[in-house]
A = this chain, B = another copy of it.
Amino acid sequence: MSRTVKSARSQHSTQRRKVRGDLASAALELFATKGYEATTVDEIAAAAGVARRTFFRHFRSKEEAIFPDHDDTLERVEAVLRGAPAQENPIDTVCRGIKEVMRMYAASPTLSVARYRLTREVPALREREIASVSRYERLFTRYLLARYDDRSHLGDEPLLAEVAASAVVTAHNHVLRRWLRSEGQGDVESALDHAFTIVRRAFGDLPSAGQRPPAARAATDGEVLVTVARTDAPLPEVMRAIERALDQRG
């Protein structure tokens, strides 16, 4: 690609983001002051200084206008998945992917908090947001399914992939909602990492692509010891895994 084409593209993309951002601010402002129902697309377009048809080039409906960044974020998430190292556990990749979504919210705390207040009051906006989030969930399900190779779950892979994707997205939404309710205070990325640790523990049995799990694995966390073994694993091997895990703890 020549430098000129690249620069023209990048200019176009900057311009596109600016228009979308202006429309989103205008919509948020109008929804908050005038009310969601009473606000028209024409008013949003006018407040952002663009024509009605420009609005519809960027958003399908007025409820979409306050979520201008999901399309770009989805692309960034896809890039994370595409660029994942082959040896990375797919669940970890998905966790890194959804961090892009969290960063989108964290980049503008004031805007995110104001929008959150609105979505709680206006069902149409809440439903719009739920629908946006479900796009990430479908992307993660497809990704996990393509990398699923635990033969002990033959036939249940689509179910497990979807449940695992949903667990990651739910954990993300939970942390995000807490952060928004606390007016965007605190380190939301650390909170997200902690939540992932909790979820990863529950879904620890989804091995990386291409890995054959060992005959027996054991790990401790606080007061709990968890062991996963093949039923044909020799008992001494199971015992060694357990003892190793208990030793590492102490």
Which residues of B sit under 8 angstroms from A195, Cβ to Cβ? 156, 159
Contact A158:B131 (CB < 8 A) given known A167-B166, A223-B152: no
How distant is the Cα of A131 from the Cα of B231 in the complex, in angstroms? Answer: 42
A122 at the binding interface (Cβ < 8 Å): no
Which residues of B sit under 8 angstroms from A205, Cβ to Cβ? 202, 224
A83 at the binding interface (Cβ < 8 Å): no
Residue of B nearest to A243 (CB): B235
Residue of B nearest to A233 (CB): B225
| Contact among B126, B160, B171 for A159, CB-based, below 8 A | B171
- What is the interface size of chain A, counting residues whose CB is below 8 A from a CB of the partner? 49
How distant is the Cα of A174 from the Cα of B161 in the complex, in angstroms? Answer: 10
Q: Are B227 and A246 in contact (CB under 8 A)?
A: no
| A60 shortest CB reach to chain B, Å | 8
A239 at the binding interface (Cβ < 8 Å): yes
Within 154-180 of A, Cβ neighbours of B (below 8 Å) are at 156, 158-160, 162-163, 166-167, 170-171, 174-175
Supply 22 A–B pairs (Cβ within 8 Å), ascending by A. Answer: A126-B131, A127-B130, A130-B130, A130-B134, A152-B223, A158-B174, A159-B171, A159-B174, A160-B198, A163-B167, A163-B202, A166-B170, A167-B167, A202-B202, A218-B227, A225-B227, A225-B228, A225-B229, A225-B238, A227-B229, A231-B246, A231-B249
> Contact residues of A with B, CB < 8 Å?
123, 126-128, 130-131, 134, 152-153, 156, 158-160, 162-163, 166-167, 170-171, 174-175, 195, 198-199, 202-203, 205, 218, 220-233, 235, 238-239, 242-243, 246, 249
